[in-house]
Amino acid sequence: MKLKKQVTVCGGAIFCVAVFSLYLMLDRVQHDPARRQSAGNFPRSQISVLQNRIEQLEQLLEENHQIISHIKDSVLELTDTGAISPSGHLPFRSANGSWVLPFDGRPTFLSVKPLDCQFALGRRSQTDLQMLDVYSLLNFDNVDGGVWKQGFEITYEPNEWDDEPLQVFVVPHSHNDPGWIKTFDKYYNDQTQHIFNNMVVKLAEDPRRKFIWSEISFFAKWWESADEHKQAAMRKLILSGQLEMVTGGWVMTDEANAHYFAMIDQLIEGHQWLEKNLGVIPRSGWAVDPFGHSATMPYLLKRANISSMLIQRVHYSIKKHFAATRSLEFMWRQAWDIESGTDMFCHMMPFYSYDVPHTCGPDPKICCQFDFKRLPGSRVNCPWKVPPRAITDANVAERAGVLLDQYRKKSKLFRSKVLLVPLGDDFRYDKALEWDQQYFNYQKLFDYMNSRPEMHVKAQFATLTDYFSAVYKAKGVAPGTRPPDYPVLSGDFFAYADREDHYWSGYYTSRPFYKNLDRVLESHLRGAEILYSLAVAHARRAGLEGRYPVSDYSLLTDARRNIGLFQHHDAITGTAKENVVIDYGNRLLRSLVGLKRVIINAAHFLVIKNKDIYRFYQTEPFLETDDRRTTQDSLPQRTLIELESTPRYLVLFNPVEQERLCVVTMLVNSARVRVLTEDGQTLPVQLSAQWVSAVEMSGEVYQASFMARLPALGLAVFHLYDSADSPMTLRSDTLLRIPGRGQSIRGLDPLPVRSQTVDAQPLYIQSQSLSLGFSGTTGLLESIRRKDDPQEVRVQIQFLTYGTRPSKDKSGAYLFLPDGNAKPYSQREAPIVRVVEGPLFAEVVAHYQHFQQTVRIHNVPGIDGLSLDITTMVDIRDQNNKELAMRLVTDIQSGDTFYTDLNGFQIQPRRYFQKLPLQANFYPMPTMAYIQDSQYRLTLHTAQALGVSSLASGQLEVILDRRLMQDDNRGLGQGLKDNKRTANRFRLLLERRSNSGKLIMPLLCISQPIFVFVPVCLSLIMSFSPHACSLLAPMPESPTS
């Protein structure tokens, strides 16, 4: 048997994931889970039972009675006629055009308490600073501020510190990217290991020396190879407080594209490593390099018992405004928190960068003179042409005075007389010489300042927590609590611009192939963890722990660490060099293979009824997944199930705690497919063609789809046969619209194909819940009508392209610098359009030169039947300096407001600002975005992080891929030219609202509660194809769940 995993992360702190065996749906159960009657047999004695179920469903969902009657009539007609075609396949439409598939009347829905909806619609947090309001207030005019180019002149009175001396905390640090220009391993070998080796020696030379470190991935690698003497020396430095571990994550995570599941997972991995090996719990957060900051991060840090945090990359105009109002330190509160339970003390660095020239004060020309690594003779110099001077007795007074002036000016931007001065940069302190240069020279300056009472300053080396503790003490509050005069802020800090109109909104989409692969691996990880835990628990209970491969846990650890590594702010962002991206990809693929092995081993053990006969064979797996990737940059390939007259067994796993209804699609070698449940019920099967090209169908491979109801946290087994007697095999109908004349497509028995030339006549597909209209010429979506709503809503999909600026700065991996508004995508010939209609699903496929879009609807109850499954296969490898966008154009009167998620965790309102350039109005979309008015909400769920905007009322626009031929001068030194053929997957959901703006159906709150976590389910379902549902292999005689 073969497995294809599909995973989803559901709920606030619960990660319910679909793994290897089923196509998950958002729906959950709130009904009697008793077994159904045979799906193919509806005796008249049970019609009344079915009618009662339909009436209950009507009351619950306020569904249209006419549609329910239509479905009932279809079931009656099937019972009465039982018509079978000569080929043995039941046609999926009756003579009057109605569906004949007998659907189960028990829909599955996620039960949400009414109070949750009321909370979501209730009042928001009360804060002093709301970032949307700040954006509305600012002019973003970028006036030259003098020596502080993006700021203003800072003055002070010399006697301001007479009563309370200035406390200066200089915090040495080294920012180490776990992959960027070099791979993780090469960085470690070339530089990072030397930082640690020097650290254990140089910090021990003087107890006044301090240092901070954040990337546990590097630290763990060093620890594993260090001898006992070095480990003991490092442990002593940590216990004495000279070395502090800040944040404690496996990496310094990206905050735009990362999903909260992975953000938490890498944080746990780092914290568990620290606790196990050093007994350390981090107290302060340090994020100097992520390209913008999410409100999710302070929430997660707060829950990890971190009391204070620091951020750096914030729009320069916001920094200027916060500096002018002395709001650079604030309590960061979640938007839904009406009290203060989520408040996190946050320090925002005021200047351009975290390097030494931009941390001692407002004048980088002066601050650079105090970066003693740049002393004459060094390979690094000061761009301002004034080099540092070593501190001597002869110049210490003058040098201390100059430096103190910068310290005082910087301190004027804050509300306490405690000052933080980071001292470091990328991969600093890798040479013993730099340790001496920085520590010796600064200590001379500190000794001089501290020995002169008239200077009213106390300067010292410090850790980050030393600084925060001093602030709390000066303000008379406990750590992590709000000082009396400090502001409270809600919102986030996207999009980031470091200068001019250079907005870092391109990386929201850069390298989408790997953004998708990341979600696939996250899904597999969660599913593997669930199955492994279940299997080990069963093995222990059965006394078979010695036989079960508990060593598989190491594969879980390896996967967690590789997923964690990929959350680094130059990995999932798509902003590393090409060889580094390949290294990341190989790590992800290796872990994906390992997780499949964990899943296979666990499922093997669990499906065997008699555990005593269990044997583990490492070289000959009992089960096999039904998809595989041959290389790190290849799309998954599905495996053909070869049916015979003897049964093949299909094992499906439901990793969530509710019973599930899902559509399972397999590739089979026979058109005579029969599917039975464990108790012998024959299930209806939709037979569809497998297309090898836009106009050619396979004569040897077919798609077989059926609807399966799966037990909560359980494995279900289905029987598959090649059977000449398969009355429940329902063939689909296919129409091809082909440009030009003279082409005819011949279908293959038993799947006929109708063909016609392209014309303007619209195309329609329908289900029991939806009716979709498509353009007859483009094959793209034009309208949606819910069957419970008489109003047809315009929802038009358009494709467009952006170029880049013709001169000066251009778009690159980080920056989005378009050459103006998007232009409509065009090609010479009209696309080939394929329409497939069947009892379980209907779809329209439009084939273009650079993309292929499939829009599918499922004829099933619940959210899955109300949403559109959209897959867009993109290939722009022959384009230069082009970005492909998908735009949704609707009649929804959304104005200038739209909504995006933050890390799949919460929803953030956005506003289109005409005063900002186009690229400033794009935001990260890790899992979803929506627009709404008083009547409708349209939500786009995504399987991969992408950039999104709403550039006009009623529109949503997503950047699908970017191919850029040049660097954008942010250090990468490359363009984006390694594009892959990429499958972008979405779910589109149209919901009806009442005139008052409140939800009129329980379904709306069930599927899309505002500011809570349910939308994550739909978005992460997209991580896998609906075909990824199964384990395939010959089963033992008595397989069980």
- Rounded to 5°, the CA angle 194-195-201 comes to 90
Residue 38 to residues 51, 150, 374, 789, 839, Cα–Cα distance (Å): 17, 72, 80, 32, 17
The residues annotated as belonging to the active site are 289
Distance in angstroms (rounded) separating the CA atoms of residues 891 and 792: 10
Q: What 3-state DSSP class applies to 336? A: coil
- Tell me, what DSSP letter sits at residue 990? E
Distance in angstroms (rounded) separating the CA atoms of residues 856 and 647: 30
Distance in angstroms (rounded) separating the CA atoms of residues 822 and 715: 48
Q: In the numeric block, which tokens belong to residue 438?
A: 């920085």
Determine the straight-line distance between the first and last CA of the chain, rounded to whole angstroms.
15
- Tell me, what DSSP letter sits at residue 712? T
Could you identify the residue written with the tokens 């929803």? 907
The answer to whether the bond into 750 is cis (omega within 30° of 0) is yes
CB-based contact 167:417 (threshold 8 Å): yes
The answer to whether the bond into 716 is cis (omega within 30° of 0) is no
CB-based contact 863:61 (threshold 8 Å): no
SS3 assignment for 582-608: HHHHHHHHHHHHHHHHHHHHHHHHHHE
Q: In the numeric block, which tokens belong to residue 837?
A: 């209609």
Quick count: other Cβ atoms within 10 Å of Cβ 998?
A: 12
CB-based contact 932:1021 (threshold 8 Å): no
Buried b (16+ CB within 10 A) or exposed e, 720-758: bbbbeebbbbbbbbbbbbbeeeeeebeeeebbebebeeb
Residue 112 to residues 171, 662, 677, 902, 1006, Cα–Cα distance (Å): 48, 20, 31, 22, 6
Distance in angstroms (rounded) separating the CA atoms of residues 412 and 419: 9
What DSSP letter does each residue of 311-322 carry, written as one string?
A: E----HHHHHHH
Distance in angstroms (rounded) separating the CA atoms of residues 989 and 929: 11
Q: In the numeric block, which tokens belong to residue 981?
A: 């053929």
Q: Based on the number of CB atoms within 10 Å of its own CB, is 580 exposed (0-12), middle (13-18) or buried (19 or more)?
A: buried
Distance in angstroms (rounded) separating the CA atoms of residues 597 and 623: 9
Query: Strand pairing partners for 690?
Result: none
CB-based contact 26:864 (threshold 8 Å): yes
Q: What 3-state DSSP class applies to 686? A: strand
- Residues contacting residue 770 through CB under 8 Å, at least 6 positions apart: 784, 785, 786, 787, 857, 865, 866, 868
Nearest to 285 by CA among 511, 463, 40, 140: 463
Distance in angstroms (rounded) separating the CA atoms of residues 362 and 383: 16
H helix runs in 769-867, sequence order: 863-866
CB-based contact 105:75 (threshold 8 Å): no
CB-based contact 390:375 (threshold 8 Å): yes
